[in-house]
Amino acid sequence: MSEDMLYVHYETVSNYVLSKGIAVKDYTKLARKLPENLLLVDGRKSIGTYDNHTGFQVIKGQENVKAFFQKGTDNQAAMGKWIDFVNVDMLHLLTPIEISEILYIAHAHTHLHSPFYYKLQNNYIYLTLPNGFIKMYYRYLEQFHELFAEAITVKLKEKVNEKKRFYQKSKEIAPFPIERVKEFIPIFKEGAVISFRQMSIEGNTYCIPLFIAEDRYASIGGRFNEKDSVGTICYDMDRNEWKIDIDFE
């Protein structure tokens, strides 16, 4: 999928978001509260320290977690696959069955039972999938709203300024209102594409169409029929205002 298209599938039963194209400029914002520790479940041996009980690498302490997230800002693939946890002593109480379930999540990219473990007290599971997709479990799904609002703002600012000359000042965009992200939930549940590729401009108003792609991932990278649009996100540069129009039930 082109970087000019964002995909979001919102799963409210298992509390995960499958996305593509949501560029995170600062991975320390990925979690509302920076995790205490991370369990790296992608088999890498060059990061963190080895934990004998689980057989995974771990990153201990918020300062080290912060440094790990900052590397992810430069290279999304560096984020790999991880689960946060609160306490090393509780980590060492994981049973072989629970460790095997975590291995399954890392391999199959889905959970067998609850993705939130009492012993880990985890709030997140982050999985880098093939073809640039990201699957992230959230104990509180509304935390994704902040990332989506930032991604929309950043992407529109890039598009508005992509043809400016080097001596021209960049045009500023008002932040997308986080409280309005909930209006997208009905289409997120179906698998939504926000197509900046098909953005229209009328005067100083920019409108980005919304489409439903469901789970047909192969179709996401293509151009959608305008007649199939289920709404628009518009931004008025003169008034610095966002307008959302979603026609989907």
Residue-range domain boundaries for the chain: 33-138, 143-246
Portion of the chain with pLDDT greater than 90, in percent: 61
Gyration radius (Cα) of the chain, Å: 20
Report CA-CA distances (Å) from 248 to 67, 187, 230. Answer: 42, 7, 6
Confidence of residue 208 (pLDDT cuts 50, 70, 90): very high
Residue 17 CA to residue 214 CA, distance in Å, equals 13
pLDDT digits (tens, 9 = 90+) for 126-164: 999 988 889 999 999 888 998 899 999 989 998 988 877
Q: For residue 48, what is the DSSP state?
A: S
Q: What is the pLDDT of residue 212?
A: 92
Whether residue 12 contacts residue 137, with contact meaning beta carbons closer than 8 Å, is answered with no
- Of 53-67, 71-85, 179-193, the one with minimum mean pLDDT is 71-85
Q: Are strands 205-212 and 231-236 parallel, antiparallel or unpaired?
A: antiparallel
Residue 125 dihedral angles phi and psi, to the nearest 5° = -135, 125
Q: How far is CA 131 from the centre of its chain?
A: 14
Whether residue 178 contacts residue 145, with contact meaning beta carbons closer than 8 Å, is answered with yes
